[in-house]
Amino acid sequence: MKRLLLGDEAIALGAIHASLGGVYAYPGTPSTEITEFIQNDPLARSQGIRSRWCTNEKTAMEAALGMSYAGKRALVCMKHVGMNVCADAFVNSAITGVNGGLVVIAADDPSMHSSQNEQDSRFYGKFALVPVFEPTTQQEAYDLIAQAFDFSEANKVPVLFRIVTRLSHSRAEVELREPVRHEPLPLAQDKGWILLPAIARRQYAALLDKQSAFAQASEEAAVLEGGGSGLGVIACGIAYNYVRESGADVTILKVNRYPLPEKKVRELAAACERIIVVEDGQPVAEQDVRGILGPQYKVFGRLTGDLPRTGELTPDNVASALGCSSGKRLAVPGPVAARPPQLCPGCGHRDVYNALNAVAAEYPGARIFGDIGCYTLGALPPFKSLSSCVDMGASITMAKGAADAGVFPAIAVIGDSTFTHSGMTGLLDAVNDGANITVVISDNLTTAMTGGQDSAGTSKYEAICTALGVSPEHVRVVIPTAPNMPEITRIIREEIEYRGVSVIIPRRECMQTLRRKNKK
């Protein structure tokens, strides 16, 4: 049976068909659709696969490790920067090892279509000494996820499964297989899970001992194809598709697993005069290939400028690097203006920024620190309200640090879901330090940017803030609409003038989720 699936959906279905016990994730483009698919799939539901959204990537990673400890197969999904959030748990899960199969999906976003950076998650695989799988196509994604679970269980190690935007968000037909019923393993009994130094040293040595098995598996998975000109191509993940699209007469080493298959790389080098490394993201494999082949062998790629150092691969930049560019392009024949994304008409964040701008104009020293979500668009015209946007939760802590240095008023704007993801601990710091900041939790009752997933703290925000020590009279709730503007601006002024931590919660449902509800 065949089915048209997004890369994300192919991974989800592949995991369901490989006897998944639970998925743990926080939404993030381009990974969100994996978990959403599992949440809505009838087979996943009938099997009781655990799939609710988690508060952040770290809680997700740890809960998945717990499920693995208990003997079931667990999947963790996140966008690339989520790896930074769960890095502590991820790196140490390689030291404990796993019981039930544990696969961690990192969806990288080269070209930053919907991200703040284009970090390459394969570095995390090298860093943590875990095997990395990187599928080429939707079909391979579906097939490889089952292999990843088997490999994880057989080698007692988490597998990092790396994808990129163009695989996540592209549809193709996938041939499905019969779902496998796989009995959960017995509960883990060994002491390797207790990472006291004496045990951790043993575990780390054991992880190093497994490396040759990982390398051997990569050798077996890599495929040498064609016997063209003197040019050899190492094609990693989806890069293979662009190399084939170009029609270039070359010898290809198709790589979908790391550590890089060293023997196959040497074989390719021996058969060719020079090698170009084609990989989406950062030059991770290219650096390894240089190390393997030494300075005498000619290796090209992103580091030499034959492929662009930044941005995603395209069929065009790959064809050009392989010397078979078509070249002919029509010009844009008329006037075209940029059309950046913007907050939806009627969105409550709009009223929040109108109010903040009105009050901030009265304070020449005012700085508004932003965060990650739809409301980051408040940095663009017509609002231009924000001075920063760095990472999940940084609005509160940057405002605090700036206030420590004398900035007044120091205002943080953070969304409801981002606040529970990574804002709460920063708010506790601010309370404990008596920081003079005003925190705006712009609550639209959902995780809006990624398409309206449940927000972990809905209906709990006032209680969370007061429990963290914000005084109840300085936790103010408003409804962000134009008629309420006088009240909202008055409250913002009052809380700016209060010398301490105050929290203002403008609360109104997201226009997108409201529209969907009204349709039903």
Query: Applying CB under 8 A, which residues contact other proteins?
Result: 2, 4, 29-30, 32-33, 113-114, 166-167, 169-173, 238, 241-242, 244-245, 314-316, 319, 326-344, 374, 377, 381, 449-451
Q: Please, which residue, 275 or 319, has the CB nearer to other proteins?
A: 319
Which helix H or strand E contains 513, and what residues bound it? helix 511-519
Q: Residue 73 in contact with residue 19, Cβ under 8 Å?
A: yes
Q: Please, which residue, 181 or 328, has the CB nearer to other proteins?
A: 328
Q: Please, which residue, 77 or 468, has the CB nearer to other proteins?
A: 77
- Beta carbon of residue 137, minimum distance to other proteins (angstroms, whole number): 9
Other CB atoms within 10 A of residue 221 CB: 17
Q: Could you give the C-alpha distances from 504 to 134, 413, 473, in angstroms and in order?
A: 44, 10, 11
Alpha helix (H) residue ranges in 309-445: 315-321, 348-360, 394-404, 416-418, 424-432
- Pairing, β 410-415 against β 298-300: unpaired
Residue 313, burial from CB neighbour count under 10 angstroms (0-12, 13-18, 19+): buried
Tokens for 57?
Answer: 């990537």
Q: Please, which residue, 340 or 486, has the CB nearer to other proteins?
A: 340
- Beta carbon of residue 247, minimum distance to other proteins (angstroms, whole number): 9
Q: Please, which residue, 281 or 401, has the CB nearer to other proteins?
A: 281
Q: Could you give the C-alpha distances from 192 to 21, 93, 94, 148, 184, in angstroms and in order?
A: 22, 11, 11, 22, 20
- Beta carbon of residue 468, minimum distance to other proteins (angstroms, whole number): 30
Q: Please, which residue, 143 or 462, has the CB nearer to other proteins?
A: 143
Q: Please, which residue, 79 or 367, has the CB nearer to other proteins?
A: 79
Q: Is residue 382 reached through a cis peptide bond, with omega within 30 degrees of 0 on the bond before it?
A: yes
- Beta carbon of residue 109, minimum distance to other proteins (angstroms, whole number): 9
- Beta carbon of residue 330, minimum distance to other proteins (angstroms, whole number): 5
DSSP string, 81-130: THHHHTHHHHHHHHHH--SS-EEEEEEE-TT-SSSS----THHHHHHHT-
- Beta carbon of residue 326, minimum distance to other proteins (angstroms, whole number): 6
- Beta carbon of residue 33, minimum distance to other proteins (angstroms, whole number): 8
